[in-house]
Structure 1
Amino acid sequence: MTGHNGAVAFAAANQPTNDAHDAVTDGNTSVGTDNGYRYDSFPGYNADAASDAATNGRRPTVAGSSGAAIKSGGTRALAPDLLRGLLMMIMAFDHAALALHTWEHGTGRVAEADGQVVRRWNYTTAYIVRTLTHLCGTGFTFLMGMGVVYLGRSRTRLGWSPVRLARYFAVRCVVLTAVTVVFGFVMTGGQLWFMNAVLFALAVDYLLAGLLWLAINETEVLLALAIARMRKVWASEASQSTMTTDDSDENGVTQPLLRGREATRTTGDAYLSWSIHNVLLVVLSLVTVFWNIWLSDDGGVCSANKQDISTLASPVNPFLRVWFWVMTEPGSRIMSGFPPMAWLSFAILGILYARIVTARPWSRHASVLGHVCAALVFSLLFVLTRVLHFGNLSEECLQTPDQQRRPAQNPYLASVASFFYVVKYPPDVAFFALTMAGNLLLLALFAAIPPRVARQITMLLDFGTSALFFYIVHLLLLFGLGMLAVAAFGHETGIPDPIYPGKTRGIDDLFGYFGFWAACMLLLWPVCRAYSRFKSTKAADSIWRFF
């Protein structure tokens, strides 16, 4: 599956831009970098939060703000851009191996697919690199959901209405889908009419995440008001007895206290509404990952006779199948390795994450500790999927020598390779838990770096702020130079080309592989840096910001 690893690098995702009103949590002032952006550490509300709470993040429309384009003047969070930039480079490892035919694509030498039998493991370097690249699809989609919240808050403060924001989300979805169609047709030489190597999934999930955030933005206020009304009804008798005294001196003392108490109650109502919505987001994220298990034709179980266990309930029509199911049928003109609805859970978690990190100022220590604790929760969930045999789309699928040596043992505990084998197409719960834990640990690492130091990691920041541009250019560069390199230095490896299976000439020397990857990254760096600077000068609603 070409373009795996979540390729689009969160391309679809808006880059998380913090509004200029957001506080610098560690007391540092925002400082610009050469890519044209100003950076703070992890964002949090400052004194502006009080006014935001009163309007749920809405700001009065300034004159002309709903018409002419306004350049966004906010600051960006460092850690998400650093993570995205790192994931871009990790993704390129996978695509470099495809371009050079260095090894078979998959930890088990086959795609990590629902119900796919694994008979032998890839060699160690290939297994490690491929497992690392699993972080990419998850990270890009997660950061996309996070970015929706940041963009929504930022544009709301510029005076954008919910309708205008919804239109922006829809236009971006359409543009990215169009890029998917054109790019796939070009990359395959017309063999595929539609190639969803993740960009289409990100486009659809971006739209759905944006609409979900807009809905929450409205219902959170309505629920807080409803809670306040119910509280007042329940406490009406007590309130009336408190307010009926005729003592003017007592009134002079109690009225300010009552106003203060009422303000506290209002804040409590808002917090309760916020918490309820967060719980709903957790439930929704779990439902949207577990439905990959529920909708599996064979329940994720490998069997000699799948007809006995298969419901065969998935639709055959590609226009219906593309949303939930992987489509890689030989000879088909449509290839979709990333069904949009199968990856939606990560975007929903991104919304939840952004709501938490922007709810209040966080010290660097608290931020790091919070990320580590969240990573531990996901790690525990991953271990439970192995030990308790739930949430896997690979039950009875591991049939390697490791399992043959220990036929009575839990197959996931037969070896390290078995333990970390997860299904990506579509993501099962084990994949969900393992990759979320990895991404949160990386965010903890980047959050721990002092901002003045993190701003110097310019390569990651440049790649992280030019996501879709990087994705398109890096594929053209890797596969273009890869063809030349294979023609000049390659030999017969037996590893088929992903588009032209008859071509099995490649470069399997590891020094050549890593050198090729490093050279491509160095070639991409100044180009992405220049594009990042160019994009940073454009208006908030410019189409250039889509890339």
Structure 2
Amino acid sequence: MTAQPLTAKHRIESIDILRGLIMLIMAIDHTRDFFHAGHPEPTDLAVTTPLLFFTRWITHFCAPIFVFLSGVSAYLAGTRRTKSQFSAFLIKRGLWLLAIEFLVVRLAQTGDPFFHTIIFQVIWAIGGSMVLLGLLVWAPLTVICIIGALIFFGHDILYLVNVGAVGNTFLWKLLLSGRGFGDVWVIDSDHIMIMAYALLPWTGVMLLGYVFGTLYKKDADAAKRRKTLLNWGLGLLALFVVLRYFNFYGDPAPWSSQKTASLSIISFFNVSKYPPSLLYLCMTLGAALIALSQTETVKNKLTDILVIYGNVPMFYYLCHWYLLLITFISLYLGSGYHLNQFDPKTGQPPASFGYGLGGVYLVWLIAIIILYFPCRWYSKYKRAHTQWWLSYL
């Protein structure tokens, strides 16, 4: 099958602007993982600070927006293909992303060529969701919308019921309840799996992104699209505030008043990402929809730069991991440390290695500046060529 478009591509730059922005923000969190001295947990109220929490909190927006926009882009890709071509494309691309996640990304994250740790993260969530979407595209759009909405708004019901022993099974954790990097499944004495991203809640996000993709059809009314995006964005944020304030539904970790006002604010916004709670998704995607509605007619030097990154998200994603890995190894060894000083249980370097948040942000800034140039080159290359593999990278 060729991935060459059957009709001319139709791009709305607000999508690339938002995607480019979250790609840059995402790298802050990964830079912190590599370089923050001592690796304090940003969401632990006992040790966090406002700046540390904010550094983590702003990156909460990345995965939901990335998955949602993948759904939007999937819908637009479907307008250039027959139904059978589209279904096959999504399934193939989803399987390709799974291979990328477990081989290419994992090597960059751990530097371990023997893959002792397998982590189900965001690319797994996108790839797995894309496979499921590839099977669902034969259904009417209304059915896809209903399924997506039921998952999106209803999956937190699982926290209110007792599922018994089923809740401890591998499949249940992988599909529904994986609780992040502390949810470990032992394969053997040398290999483990970490269910960081439970698949089905993220699939709900992609399905709704696919439905919202209808707003971006060529014949869609732009003013009506912006109004719809704004109203839905405001609605999701309002739902977040109401449900969060009353601790009624939507997150397994209720907020509470703390000893200081700043910690109380942190508690309020400290919603659950693993798996993504309804309130987490309302907070992040509500803001995303508002951003999409407000940036569609904006064009300046900053948006031009963001579009470069947003045009090539997977290329940027892979490059940034390997750039951070190479930078980490260079600075680590250059500081006089040795590889045998890593903690064998956590895989972390000595607590004495690393920098404060100022140093983390400096490394991040240098990294994204460096990445601008290969991203600009690849963006130009994609616009000038139509090889089949360009749809997969």
TM, length-normalised to structure 2: 0.84
- Other-structure match for 2:62: 136
1:130-279 to 2 correspondences below 5 Å? 130-155=56-81, 161-187=82-108, 188=110, 189=112, 190-192=114-116, 194-216=118-140, 277=142
Q: CA offset at residue 334 of structure 1?
A: 1.1
Mean alpha-carbon deviation: is it higher for 161-170 or for 186-195?
186-195
1:63-462 to 2 correspondences below 5 Å? 73-102=8-37, 104=39, 106-109=41-44, 119-120=45-46, 122-155=48-81, 161-187=82-108, 188=110, 189=112, 190-192=114-116, 194-216=118-140, 277=142, 282-296=145-159, 299=160, 311-316=164-169, 318-319=170-171, 321-326=173-178, 328-329=183-184, 333-358=192-217, 360-364=219-223, 366-395=224-253, 402-403=257-258, 415-449=264-298, 453-454=299-300, 457-462=303-308
- Other-structure match for 1:42: none
Shift in CA distance, 522/498, structure 1 to aligned 2, threshold 3 Å? farther
- Other-structure match for 1:234: none
Show CA shifts across 1:308-358 (max 9, x none). Answer: x77343242x35542223163275511221122121121122122111343
Contact 1:101 1:497 in 2 (8 A): no
- The aligned amino acid for 1:460 is L
Q: CA offset at residue 146 of structure 1?
A: 0.6
CA distance in 2, matches of 1:330, 1:101: 27
Q: CA offset at residue 521 of structure 1?
A: 0.6
Shift in CA distance, 442/104, structure 1 to aligned 2, threshold 3 Å? farther
Contact 1:98 1:498 in 2 (8 A): no
Contact 2:36 2:360 in 1 (8 A): no
Structure with the largest fraction of helix: 2
Q: CA offset at residue 489 of structure 1?
A: 5.9
Aligned residues: CA RMSD: 3.3
SS at match of 2:283: helix
> Could you tell me which of 324, 328, 333 is aligned with 1:482?
328
- The aligned amino acid for 1:195 is I
SS at match of 1:154: coil
- The aligned amino acid for 1:96 is T
Contact 1:181 1:193 in 2 (8 A): no
Q: Does 1:508 align with 2:360?
A: no
CA distance in 2, matches of 1:421, 1:77: 32
Mean alpha-carbon deviation: is it higher for 527-536 or for 135-144?
527-536
Q: CA offset at residue 386 of structure 1?
A: 1.3
- Other-structure match for 1:34: none
Is there any run of 5+ residues in structure 1 with no aligned partner, and where? 1-65, 110-118, 156-160, 218-276, 301-308, 407-412
CA distance in 2, matches of 1:70, 1:294: 41
SS at match of 1:323: helix
- The aligned amino acid for 2:240 is F
Shift in CA distance, 142/405, structure 1 to aligned 2, threshold 3 Å? closer
Contact 2:64 2:205 in 1 (8 A): yes
Q: CA offset at residue 102 of structure 1?
A: 4.5
CA distance in 1, matches of 2:251, 2:259: 20
Give identity over the alignment, percent: 20
CA distance in 2, matches of 1:485, 1:497: 20
Contact 1:145 1:350 in 2 (8 A): yes
Shift in CA distance, 182/509, structure 1 to aligned 2, threshold 3 Å? same
CA distance in 1, matches of 2:42, 2:125: 23
Contact 2:151 2:200 in 1 (8 A): yes
Q: CA offset at residue 291 of structure 1?
A: 4.8
Show CA shifts across 1:482-504 (max 9, x none). Answer: 2323454699xxx9899613532
- Other-structure match for 1:528: 375
Contact 2:42 2:48 in 1 (8 A): yes
CA distance in 1, matches of 2:376, 2:355: 31
- The aligned amino acid for 2:247 is H
Show CA shifts across 1:130-160 (max 9, x none). Answer: 11111111101110111111000022xxxxx
Q: CA offset at residue 201 of structure 1?
A: 1.0
Size of the aligned set, in residue pairs, is: 379
> Could you tell me which of 297, 317, 325 is aligned with 1:471?
317
Shift in CA distance, 370/163, structure 1 to aligned 2, threshold 3 Å? closer
Show CA shifts across 1:290-321 (max 9, x none). Answer: 4542334xx49xxxxxxxx77343242x3554
- The aligned amino acid for 2:327 is L
Shift in CA distance, 539/329, structure 1 to aligned 2, threshold 3 Å? same
- Other-structure match for 1:36: none
Q: CA offset at residue 199 of structure 1?
A: 0.8
Contact 2:36 2:355 in 1 (8 A): yes
Q: CA offset at residue 527 of structure 1?
A: 0.7
CA distance in 2, matches of 1:343, 1:284: 12
Shift in CA distance, 194/319, structure 1 to aligned 2, threshold 3 Å? farther
Shift in CA distance, 414/123, structure 1 to aligned 2, threshold 3 Å? closer
Show CA shifts across 1:80-132 (max 9, x none). Answer: 011100000000010010110257465423xxxxxxxxx52621112112111
CA distance in 2, matches of 1:458, 1:78: 9
Q: CA offset at residue 394 of structure 1?
A: 3.2
Contact 1:393 1:423 in 2 (8 A): yes
- The aligned amino acid for 2:196 is G
Contact 2:382 2:390 in 1 (8 A): yes
Shift in CA distance, 490/425, structure 1 to aligned 2, threshold 3 Å? farther
Q: CA offset at residue 505 of structure 1?
A: 3.0
